[in-house]
Amino acid sequence: MEKLRGFEIAKGFEDKQINLPERKTKYSAGYDIEAAEDIIIPSFKKGIAPTFVKTGIKAYMQDDEVLLLYNRSSNPKKKGLILANSVGVIDKDYYGNQDNDGHIMFAFYNIKDEDIEIKKGDCIGQGIFQKYLLADDDKSTGIRMGGFGSTSK
pLDDT of residue 151: 56
Q: Are 81 and 75 in contact (CB under 8 A)?
A: yes
Amino acid found at 100: N
SS (H, E, C) 3-70: CCCEEEECCCCCCCCCCCCECCCCCCCCEEEECCCCEEECECCCCCCCEEEECCEEEECCCCEEEEEE
pLDDT of residue 150: 53
Q: What is the mean pLDDT of residues 92-97?
A: 94
- The Cα–Cα gap between 84 and 70 comes to 11
Q: For the chain, how many residues are written? A: 153
Q: What is the mean pLDDT of residues 126-132?
A: 98
pLDDT of residue 142: 78
Query: For the chain, what is the mean pLDDT?
Result: 94
Tell whether the model's pLDDT for residue 71 goes beyond 60. Answer: yes
Tell whether the model's pLDDT for residue 30 goes beyond 70. Answer: yes
How does residue 143 score in pLDDT terms, banded at 50, 70 and 90?
confident
**Closest to 124 measured CA to CA, from 59, 77, 55, 56:** 55
Tell whether the model's pLDDT for residue 66 goes beyond 70. Answer: yes
Higher pLDDT, 152 or 137: 137
Q: List the domain boundaries for the chain.
A: 6-131
Q: What is the CATH number of domain 6-131?
A: 2.70.40.10
- The Cα–Cα gap between 43 and 62 comes to 38
Tell whether the model's pLDDT for residue 149 goes beyond 80. Answer: no
